[in-house]
Amino acid sequence: MSEIHHLSTQQLIAGLQNKQFSSLELTEHYIKRIDALDSKINSFITHTSQTALAQAKAADEMRAQGDNRMLLGIPMAHKDIFCTQGVLTTCGSKMLHNFVSPYNATIVSNIENAGMISLGKLNMDEFAMGSDNSSSYYGTVQNPWDLERVPGGSSGGSAAAVAAGFVPLATASDTGGSIRQPASFCGLTGIKPTYGRVSRFGMIAYASSLDQAGSLGHSARDCAYLLQPMIGHDPRDATSIKHDMPDYVSDLDEAVANAGDKPFAGLRIGVAKEYFGAGLDSEVEKSVRAALSKYEELGATIVEVTITDPEITLATYYMLAPAEASSNLSRFDGVRFGYRCEDPKDLIDLYTRSRSEGFGPEVQRRILMGTYALSAGYFDAYYTKAQKIRRIIIKDFEDAFESCDVIASPTAPTAAYKLSDDLDSATMYLGDVYTIGVNLAGLPSISQPVGLTSEGLPVGLQLIGKHWEESKLLTTAHLFQQHTDHHLQHSLIAKQSV
């Protein structure tokens, strides 16, 4: 049991089915690791160990009675942006430091119905605003590969927990790269589905037209297991779209069964020069180029495509996302729930001090940016113009996909940077330069590990697909991982036994 956390989700499922270990033993193993090592990482905000142990015991009893649900008894954890009934749900903010949700997010209920066991709620940038997980009210998260470096954000707690071997799988959310960038920094695979594929009901909103839940794991197959119960139309979410319900794991198995010596024969991978310009670290580019060469070796064809200049995309995103955040976060006013200042003089003082004291600097900054963009004098000049450019970004992706099946790029321009670097906000925003276009266009995208820098830090490759083509992305990454071992590398903390 000492290295059971090195097993893939597929191996954990097989172990439970073959009675090599019980769900209770599995859950106890992960809890023991969290208790012993998370003080170094700070990946969890809330632990639900006692509930998890009871659920694990119940899962073992159900399996003994013939319950054959694939994920029954498999541990996982949720990013603290998803409402969880009876459990503290903070969104990494002082504003919600005392909010115990009275209901479940749809994906939380779906995952529970699949038989999975939640070990707790994971740390995150406050209200999902950040790229390094340093804006959380509950403290900075460290990267399990190098404790002096950031894990990425805003799903840094989710990525760090998986990379440290605290859970095999974790939910996450992605507004501008918040699944894919942490996946890249922590040597994981992470998928952001098509907008509308996964219900947003019960996911605390940052930017409603951009937010989408997804999954993090070591491999594409891991991500497929967790994504499967998350998808589906939800009548409680007006942005949830009715569409086909693929079986992601079966699609992977079928792809492997049909793969020959050239598994990517016929696959056209689009590469845009705009993704390889100034600001891209040379070691990151080297690993990404090597991965593309491997795809070619396995039968893929590399074609040149053109996409919107990432700097224009970045500016568009940081106009629209704060505007939506300004609207969404207006509900946190100290009146109905969450943080309330002490002894307010009047209603204006209640609003002002509750929000000033409850929100951190980065959240306040984005609210101010968004409010300015939405104000009467600047709405047309900024917000309306950004929406028009968003339409151009979508069209550019549509045009690019006429000549390719998937688009490849670096996930992030650098590997994980040091916590001590203390980047200013504008520099931090540049960390999302390759990922945000996907959210503006509502496309699915996956990040997969493709190498290590000279300092031993992970590098990620991003694959972007057409709407509703998560299976293609998962299959492409999975077949690549059958011929490489980047996803099998373990972080410093994951190598530690307890």
- What is the pLDDT confidence band of residue 465, given thresholds at 50, 70 and 90? very high
Q: What is the pLDDT of residue 431?
A: 83
Q: What is the pLDDT of residue 1?
A: 63
Domain span at residue 72? 4-255+465-488
- Token pair belonging to 385: 């113009």
- What is the pLDDT confidence band of residue 426, given thresholds at 50, 70 and 90? low
267 DSSP assignment: P
Answer whether residue 82 is part of any domain: yes
- Token pair belonging to 431: 């960390």
Q: Do you find a cis peptide bond into 154, omega within 30 degrees of 0? A: yes
Answer whether residue 28 is part of any domain: yes
Q: Which residues contact 117 (CB under 8 A, 6 or more apart)?
A: 23, 27, 52, 55, 56, 59, 73, 74, 75, 76
Q: What is the pLDDT of residue 430?
A: 76
- Token pair belonging to 351: 């609003």
User: Annotated catalytic, 178?
Assistant: yes
Q: Which residues contact 99 (CB under 8 A, 6 or more apart)?
A: 88, 89, 90, 337, 338
Answer whether residue 200 is part of any domain: yes
Q: What is the pLDDT of residue 172?
A: 98
The residues pairing with 459 across neighbouring beta strands, listed in sequence order, are: 451
**pLDDT tens digits along 79-128:** 999 999 999 999 999 999 999 999 999 999 999 999 999 999 999 999 99
Q: How far apart are CA 7 and CA 131, in angstroms?
A: 29
Q: What is the mean pLDDT of the chain?
A: 96
What is the average pLDDT across 458-481? 98
Q: Which residues contact 90 (CB under 8 A, 6 or more apart)?
A: 45, 46, 80, 96, 97, 99, 121, 137, 138
Count of Cβ atoms closer than 10 Å to residue 335 Cβ: 12
Nearest Cα residue to 473 out of 385, 407, 390, 420: 407
Active-site residue (options: 22, 23, 43, 79): 79
- Token pair belonging to 199: 């219900």
- Token pair belonging to 172: 């996450």
Answer whether residue 173 is part of any domain: yes
Q: What is the DSSP string of 84-110?
A: -TTSB--TTSGGGTT-B-SS--HHHHH
What is the average pLDDT across 14-22? 97
Answer whether residue 478 is part of any domain: yes
Active-site residue (options: 154, 219, 326, 471): 154
Nearest Cα residue to 492 out of 184, 2, 42, 145: 145
Answer whether residue 29 is part of any domain: yes
pLDDT at 28 over 90: yes
Answer whether residue 51 is part of any domain: yes
- Token pair belonging to 37: 């090592």
Q: Decide: residue 128, CB within 10 A, 0-12 exposed, 13-18 middle, 19+ buried.
A: buried
| Domain harbouring 144, CATH code | 3.90.1300.10
Q: How far apart are CA 118 and CA 76, in angstroms?
A: 5
**pLDDT tens digits along 232-263:** 999 999 999 999 999 999 999 999 999 989 99
409 DSSP assignment: E
CB 89, CB 98: distance < 8 Å: no
Number of domains comprising the chain: 1
Q: What is the pLDDT of residue 355?
A: 97
Q: What is the pLDDT of residue 377?
A: 85
- What is the pLDDT confidence band of residue 423, given thresholds at 50, 70 and 90? confident
Q: Decide: residue 384, CB within 10 A, 0-12 exposed, 13-18 middle, 19+ buried.
A: exposed
User: Annotated catalytic, 466?
Assistant: no
Q: What is the pLDDT of residue 421?
A: 80
Q: How far apart are CA 364 and CA 141, in angstroms?
A: 21
Q: How far apart are CA 468 and CA 443, in angstroms?
A: 8
Answer whether residue 126 is part of any domain: yes
Active-site residue (options: 101, 178, 409, 471): 178
418 DSSP assignment: B
Task: Give the CA distances from residue 80 to residues 30, 123, 481, in Å, rounded to whole numbers and listed in that order.
Answer: 19, 6, 30
Q: Which residues contact 394 (CB under 8 A, 6 or more apart)?
A: 440, 441, 442
H/E stretch holding 450 reads strand 445-452
- What is the pLDDT confidence band of residue 359, given thresholds at 50, 70 and 90? very high
Q: For residue 232, is it left (φ>0), alpha (ψ between -120 and 50) or beta?
A: left
- Length of the chain (residues): 498
Look at the alpha carbons of 397, 400, 406, 412 in this order and tell me if their dihedral is positive or negative: negative
Q: What is the pLDDT of residue 2?
A: 63
Q: What is the pLDDT of residue 175?
A: 98
User: Annotated catalytic, 385?
Assistant: no
CB 413, CB 280: distance < 8 Å: yes
CB 342, CB 349: distance < 8 Å: no
**pLDDT tens digits along 330-343:** 999 999 888 999 99
What's the one-letter identity of residue 230?
A: M
